[in-house]
């Protein structure tokens, strides 16, 4: 199958975007790109270090550049960082050549998946679950601008992958 549109995955950190993107890329034999990975490569450092040194606005500007570059491509899978929706321009660019899927998981599921990861600056707090719940509530209206919302709470990739394939 020749894809003319991009498959764009948005959602909270820990919702499974990267794993689902890789599974889709293998199945469809197309390239998969991560906005976070592109930012880290360009910055030559992890996001946590970049944010600590230069702040969130600098990171978001770099993220927007990554989105702008990827949005011009066709027939790829784009795994977006959780905060990509904070810039309305990002969604506008991604929708131009893409079908946007919101991978939705509950804050509790997200917490269980990422609680041991030290590279997540947004949850580097005394109460990470409360931080996740707050971010989830703030971003949900933005994530809901996706073309489709899929339940990504189950540990299996098969369900979301099959659902995405059925829509493209």
How many other CB atoms are there within 10 angstroms of residue 143's CB atom? 20
Query: What percentage of the chain's residues is helix, strand, coil (to nearest 5)?
Result: 55, 15, 30
Q: How far apart are CA 120 and CA 66, in angstroms?
A: 19
Domains and CATH numbers, the chain: 6-167 (3.40.50.300)
Closest CA to 89 of 63, 110, 50: 63
| Mean pLDDT, the chain cut into blocks of 10 residues (168 residues total) | 85 91 94 96 93 94 96 94 95 94 93 79 79 93 95 83 88
User: What is the chain's length?
Assistant: 168
Closest CA to 82 of 150, 129, 142: 142
Give me the pLDDT at residue 1, please. 55
Sign, Cα dihedral of 158, 9, 94, 100: positive
Give me the pLDDT at residue 126, please. 81
Give me the pLDDT at residue 109, please. 92
Give me the pLDDT at residue 153, please. 87
- Do 70 and 97 contact (CB within 8 A), yes or no? no
User: Which residue has 């990171």 as its token pair?
Assistant: 59
Give me the pLDDT at residue 118, please. 66
Give me the pLDDT at residue 113, please. 87
- The Cα-based distances of 154 to 16, 89, 139, 159 in angstroms read 10, 31, 21, 8
């Amino acid at each position: 199958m020749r894809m003319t549109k991009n498959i764009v995955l948005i959602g909270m950190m820990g919702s499974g975007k990267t794993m689902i993107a890789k599974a889709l890329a293998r199945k469809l034999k197309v390239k998969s790109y991560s906005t976070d990975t592109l930012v880290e490569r360009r910055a030559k450092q992890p996001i946590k270090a970049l944010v600590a040194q230069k702040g969130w606005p600098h990171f978001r500007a770099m993220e927007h550049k990554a989105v702008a570059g990827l949005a011009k491509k066709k027939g790829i899978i784009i795994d977006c960082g959780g905060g990509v929706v904070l810039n309305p321009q990002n969604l506008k660019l991604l929708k131009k050549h893409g079908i946007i899927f919101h991978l939705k998981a509950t804050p509790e599921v997200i917490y269980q998946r990422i609680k041991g990861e030290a590279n997540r600056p947004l949850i580097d707090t005394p109460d990470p679950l409360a931080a996740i719940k707050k971010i989830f509530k703030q971003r949900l209206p933005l994530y809901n601008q996706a073309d489709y919302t899929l339940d990504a709470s189950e540990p299996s990739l098969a369900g979301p992958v099959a659902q995405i394939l059925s829509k493209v």
